[in-house]
Amino acid sequence: RPFGRGRWCRHIARLERMMDAPPRKANRRTRPLPVQPFPILFLLAAVVVPCVARSRAAGLRGTIDGEGPSPSGSPRPPIEFPPYDVALEMVALSHAIYKYRGLSSCFDVTPEPILPEGAVCHFYERDRQDTQAMVVSRPDMSYVAVVYAGTDDFRNALTDADIAMKPFGPRLKNGTYPLMPEDRPGARVHSGFDNAVFHDGLFDRILAAVGEALGEGGGDYRLLTTGHSLGAADSLLTAVALRHYIPNKPVLCLNFGCPRTGNLEWREHVNAVDGLAVWRFVNGVDIVPRLPNLIFKHAGHTVQMSKTGSRAYYLHDGDKDMGFEGVPTGWGTIPFIVIPLNGMSHFIFKYEDYLRNKAGSNRTTFYVHNFVKIEDDDGDDDDNAHIFGDDDLFPPDESGDSEVGDMNSVDVSDILNWYYHQRLAGTEENYLLFDEHEWDDWIADGRQKYS
């Protein structure tokens, strides 16, 4: 494991000390070696950025048990992990909203119920930007939830080279942004996500529906936001806005396959908002949470679901002073080389299947109850095997488990070669449109090849 974080960060610290030292006198008989700057800069960037981000983040976070200050300076209450039944309900809603695509309102009649039993739809809209939003309540679970769906063209939206950032929230006629944090004027969010929520008054209509639903609940309902893919990003921005406009109600954002949403100052702001909890569930090598580029950052806690179990990472990057580990080295890069697993892992039915079946049968292993802790000072405990969650394309070993993380049970070049021929046959271009049963047939072909 040559890429342990602790070892690299110590190397960087040593390099910094060398750079601060006075230059040695040049030797006439020595000539400077020709240096290719770009590989060196790339390697330094790959190492320095995570190290700096972690060290800076460590100074921004409070303690988990309330003994120290929060980023805002006030004591932080103990962090409550989202109950399993709430997580299962939110992933079911995030899946169900896709089935509303052909409908126009909550009151359209369908042959079979779409929402989970007991859930009531108060508001549904699909606007011209293809933003699908819904406000749902459920009396027996005492919640009101804002639910967003993703869009069909999420890949283009996330990988556009001209991705822009903007101040958070709607812009008033006087040119001001009422939702922008005063203490972090440089906070910026992905303009596409922001426009999806606040363009054309959509958020105002959502806020009104939420207020009515909360009123019907007599003030005892919890306020939740959820969504999948781009809908997950929309749910995060909505959660921050709801916390601003409904200050007496804590907000829990629990989403699935969420991309990065804003810059560093935005992340700091979200992580410091009192009464707001953000939990982002990531299925294995799902590529979307690794997008857009590194200028964008993740806010909230990361729950990494994998074949070996689920792990929770405190505010994504961890906190050394508190003893919490961040996501492992390679978390943001390895999924780019695992094709087409990185796209398949993004399906919402994969998230629901994991939580309903794996976590439902063994919550101790496949659901989260505590944060990953730093196990040793060396920091070389990065085992990337637990990044991989979906073993559909990889045959199991003798014990029945797929060794995707170590790549022992299958040749990577063989995977890419098979995928290449599938792409030539036209299969790959349409795989996102497969339903669950068609996808299973396609996977069965792959398993037969490796048997």
H or E segment at 223?
Answer: strand 222-227
Kindly give the residue spans of alpha helices, DSSP state H, lying in 59-201.
Answer: 84-96, 154-159, 191-198
Residues whose CB falls within 8 Å of the CB of residue 352, separated by 6 or more in sequence, listed in order: 91, 92, 94, 95
How high is the pLDDT of residue 77? 56
How high is the pLDDT of residue 414? 44
pLDDT at residue 114 tops 50: yes
Gap between the Cα atoms of 145 and 244, Å rounded: 16
Write the single-letter amino acid at 353. Answer: D
pLDDT at residue 233 tops 50: yes
Among candidates 52, 54, 49, 263, which has minimal Cα distance to 163? 263
Gap between the Cα atoms of 60 and 407, Å rounded: 37
Is pLDDT larger for residue 187 or for residue 343?
187
Kindly give the residue spans of alpha helices, DSSP state H, lying in 259-384.
Answer: 264-272, 341-344, 348-353, 359-361, 363-366
pTM for the model stands at 0.72
pLDDT at residue 434 tops 50: no
Q: Minimum mean pLDDT among 4-8, 159-163, 247-251, 360-364: which range? A: 4-8
The pLDDT confidence band at residue 217, using thresholds 50, 70 and 90, is confident
Dump pLDDT digits (tens) for 389-431: 544 333 334 444 433 333 333 334 344 444 444 544 544 444 4
The mean of the pLDDT values for the chain is: 76
How high is the pLDDT of residue 151? 74
Among candidates 273, 245, 377, which has minimal Cα distance to 320? 377
Is pLDDT larger for residue 2 or for residue 156?
156
* 3 state DSSP class of 163: coil
Write the single-letter amino acid at 320. Answer: K
How high is the pLDDT of residue 4? 45
* CA 287 to chain CA centroid, nearest Å: 10
Mean pLDDT of 145-172: 76
How high is the pLDDT of residue 55? 39
* CA 161 to chain CA centroid, nearest Å: 21
pLDDT at residue 386 tops 90: no
pLDDT at residue 326 tops 80: yes
- Locate 179 and state its tokens: 């939702």
Q: Minimum mean pLDDT among 110-124, 185-199, 424-438: which range? A: 424-438
Q: Which residues pair with 310 in a beta bridge?
A: 305
